Structure 1
Amino acid sequence: MLSIVGIAESASVALVIFIGHVATLTLLSGCSLYYAVQHPNIFTANMQTEFPDVNVAGHFVSGNMLTGIFYGYSSAMLGITGFETSAQFVEEQAPGVFRKTLRNMWVFATCYNLLLSFLSLAVLPLQGIYADENVVLATMGRVVAGKWLESWVSVDAFVVLAGGVLTSYVGITGLVRRLAFDRVLPAFLTHTNKWRGTNHNIILLFFGLQASLVILLNADSTALAGVFTFAFLSVMALFAFGCILLKLKREDIPRDVHAPWWSCIFGLIMVLLGLLGNLLGDPAIFTYFALYFVVFAATMFIMLERVFILRILLYIMQQLFPSRGSRDGAVEDVEAVKSQVKVKDGARTGAKGGRTITAVLQEIHLPAIVFFVKVANLSVLNKAILYVRKNEQTHNLHVVHVSEDAELDNEEDNSAEVTEADVQRRQQERENVEDLREMTRIFDLTYPKLKIDFVHVCGAHFDSAFVHWLSDELSVPPNMMFIRQPGTKNIHQRSALRPRTLFASICPVLISVSLLRKSHHISFLQIDVAAAMSFAILTQLMGNLSAVYTNFHRSLQLKRDGDSDAKIVLNLLSLTQVRRWSFLFYALQLLVLGIAHALCDKSVATTEEEWSACAEKDNQMLKSTRMEWIDGRVYIVELPSREYGH
């Protein structure tokens, strides 16, 4: 009820609860330490007790030091909860605060957990710990100081847990709302009530989930703790796995803290060991966790694959319940839903009720995606389009370019204050815009199932205000806007814009595409001779290798209307560039260079005379292509129209 009426967390209230909790634990620790000094025989007797037998997947095994450490570590993982929820507030914290939050949590969890675990053995006998395992701290307070400290600890535990429950509702509301905005969960979860403006559907659904779990487990606190342990450790494992993925796929992202490889791998292994220990201790608990996990995973799968499911449903309807028009052979193209025109009332889909499914498909495909692009680069734009085709359920893509010069559309620069440098800069920007417009037109024809529009905004600065303004103008939420990974400059300013980062900007690639426009509007193929010869031979042997890594992009072969030959643009200068972390790519680099030099019998031609001598040695290259020496580089001006297999 508190969450539904809109009561959220307060920093002041949280600080008061934190101070009271720390004071309670400190007082309990001090009293317990004084009691342990007065009664040292309790700790000595507990240390002389043999290790208890442990339950390993239903079979009891004699306990020893190894089982004690392993299962003790696995059980203790439940006592460090809180780290998984801290990431939900990172976007609301000032720069550098999140690291301090994790540090403070680590310090307090380490100190108090170790201290209270040690003092419990010095205050209570093992039988007392087993008997009161759910209220050990309160029992310690009663033993060392009396009934008043037991009541104090109990009230403090109630307040802290109540705050934790409220925090869970606040956290799950923000998480589910963001997933719903990203079209991963159903959109009805984002609905807000007019009374308090809260997401009541999320709150009620989460309450139903918690209540069903309590009923299913008969309110067994041990089983509930086990289910929570699996969920908590799974989230922590995803943190470590996500950090490893960032190091692999986004190693060039500017960051303040660099986690070493050993810490990421070590943390992941330790979390997995904790999961294994809890799984071996009571495998039945994992069944309940898996049941809820499958339900939510199925929901997300249906949302992500709903277009495919609806098309299968439409096909089944066509086979089982064909319409009268389908029998007469007058069925219209079902793929008309992919167009941006509203489905006609008289349109025939070949099935009874097919127009309803078609309308739902159109509603799914209609919302647009925005991609911000700065420079004309075929490779970058094609990667963005491929990402949208693969991961986003839309048939509309807006390619947006922002120019700060408000006079860019003015062809005449007659102002006395305009310098020659300004004229050249404007001319370069105009050519860049024209290139982007032409690329968008080409890709719009290349991908018929995706409507690609080019939007050019003049006189604007790319900042947070502009993103929100454009979001209102195009009716596209900021989380449906994408940018490339920004560079080191203004990285923190870019992070405040709230668009999603699509792919890295500095990652080395085997084949990167760039458009070289000349005055006569002909595209050229700029190519390193040795790299090209090695590439031609190794393509058949290593063709599938480039598809494994997202940074190894295939070349684009663009065919214009009326052109018999393919005018393509490739830049193979980065063929021998490899990632620093991969020894495999270092070996591949040496192999490519060795084959290239063996084929050429010399280094890459750097002058026109050397190029002529190298070309005369291999006439086959000139037979298949027409090459010229232009501005100190070799260019392929024309390629035959036959397929080259990328």
Structure 2
Amino acid sequence: MTLEERPGAVKVVVATTVMLSFISFWRAAAIVLADMASSAYYVGGIAETAIGRAAPWFILAIMLFSYAVRAIYIESCSMFVRGGVYRVVHEALGGTLAKFSVSALMFDYVLTGPISGVSAGLYLGGLINEMGDKFHIAGMHVNAQYFAALFAAAVTLYFWRKNIIGIHESSEKALRIMQITTVMVVILIVWCLATIAKKGAYPLTPPIPSNLHFSDDALGWLKGTVGPSITVIAVLIGLGHSLLAMSGFETLAQVYREVAHPKLKNLERAGFVIIIYSLMFTSLVSFFAVMIIPDADRKNFLDNLIGGISMYLIGPVSLRLLFHGLVVLVGTLILAGAVNTAIIGSNGVLNRVAEDGVLPDWFRHPHHKFGTTSRLINLVVVLQLITILISRGDIYVLGEAYAFGVVWSFAMKALSVLVLRYKQPENREWKVPLNFHIRGVEIPVGLALITFTLFALATVNVLTKKVATISGVTFTIIFFIVFELSEQYNRKRRSGQKQEVEKFRVDARPDLSAETVRVRPGNVLVAVRNPNRLQHLARILRKTDTRKLDIVVLSVRQVSPAGSGEHPLGTDQIFSDDETTVFTRVVALAEKAGKHVELMVVPGTDPYEAVVQTAARLHSSRIVMGLSPKLSASEQGELVGRYWEKLPEPRPSLSLELVLENQKDVVFYNLGPHPPRLWPEDIDLVHRLWLELSARGPGHKLHHRDIVGVALRRMNEELHSDRSPEVVEDVLREVAGGNHAEDSKPESSVVQ
């Protein structure tokens, strides 16, 4: 889109900075670990199946190497490059390799869900069988793999529905999950050390070539060749089968935008926390399994390794079973979360690819009711369900295939950062260490070594994993062809649609304020998204005198951290076909009403948060929305109120107006502290108490506000005393028994 003035073009203000709340590096680390820690549940068994008892050493090596990979993501985040995952790689490597890179990344995401769901199912199935054996319940036994496949499919379908409706993942939830996980990890480490101290430990196998016992499936096309006997190749094979230990590390880049200032320093801190935690959890699990579980028995727990450890600890069986249950509970939380993350991530990546013109806009057509990109979500979930069906719950097959996507995603990321080091040498705040200069030319030794190592591992994986290579290459080729044909189609179609887009003149603004946007304080902010649901805008246009009050029509461009978390999006990615469609309808309504409106687009990870933050920056007096199809009026009011509470002090005075579809019924909410609207019977009670207490001494000095003040202080004291349950019960009874119709103008702070 061209930015120059054009006669007759309607101005649209586009914010190029994402509206979001910033989080500490602890929360950022928790988000990454909630994804990355899931691999601790399955990587040990997969690696040992492939390379034998020496597997823990290779997992440890991968965890240490991940610290170097962390440096690549930090440098990538420090570059001043605009665009999603496709556009950034395209800038570095060209269109062909960019499509290959995105295809590999999609293969990674499509496999993340099934392997996480199946792993959770295997742990749950293992617990069921363990309890059946211990309590001698004949019918309490399941086929672990089939049960795991069924469980994974059920979890996938559950999160499919949640994502169709529109689910918001909070850093608070990730932090809580990691707190529970940390409790389990601490108990596991202490209990394992106590077991070793009392019973002793089975010896560890040194990671030397003679101790590497590769399975037939682990060698792939290298079976029968001299390759595995060469030390360097044998080590690379071992590392390749342990690579899953750092799967999920790409999430570090996705949270970059949300990290509080100083961003890069906090990103480094988060990366350090992640490495230490992973070393203490992922690598130790594999070591403890070899040291505590007898070799003859451990083969029965390779797909349920932590559960197996829990049953070989010292202590009574009942206590071990209880801890086994905790292991399964934590695993289900983490692994099910990874299933959801995979759907969200895939949807985010494909959305960014579509915005870059590599997928038809048909895929991004919003759901008629919920406004989500349901077609992309459906595509991803169908691929995941097919993967689960084909695998039939075999975690080893899924792990081998998953490793293909992981290693090639890392390798292409490293290569693009390396190439951009030369193509755009000035555009970065931080660099991977070990850089030398020869005659003015920078030699990035550290970055080159990491890139070379990743490509060496990727190449060895291709040669040693037949099923993974065949499936991965097939998937990548299919997606590559789809991307190529779609890009050609979009290029022709968009050249014919240029005139439609030219109706709008984009005014890009990195920072929004009432002054820069040129609207008066006290304006009305109207949130729009669905071009077929603009009844609330029509009502505001009909009732507002724009000579006295400005109307700002806001569309939030919802972005996912996946595929665009490292770099800001380009203006044309924020203001795309969807915004053109909705604003064309907005302009038609405004012209029909004879009113002037200001048009604005802001990117945000959560639409409600973006609306509230924009209203605060523009000094709006009122936010106007239509009623959400997935929330009640009170729930919507509560949600907006919660985001108002997150605004920095001093928080502005704001009200929320929810217009129902008939344009007649309106629900008002005051956000923040405000005089409450009391029910008539409550006002009467205050007055009767005032009369009674006035007669007991204070007389004319007593006011109605004194009655309310004393009552509130007494309630606050009782709420924080042993009478708290009674207070809560009274409040719940009041809410349940109240006759509060939603069209009778209730108010809300955080809750109604």
| Shorter-chain TM band | 0.3 to 0.5
Q: TM-score scaled by structure 1? A: 0.48
Structure scoring higher RCO (CA < 8 A, sep ≥ 6) equals: 2
Q: Report which of the two has the higher share of helix.
A: 2
Q: TM-score scaled by structure 2? A: 0.41
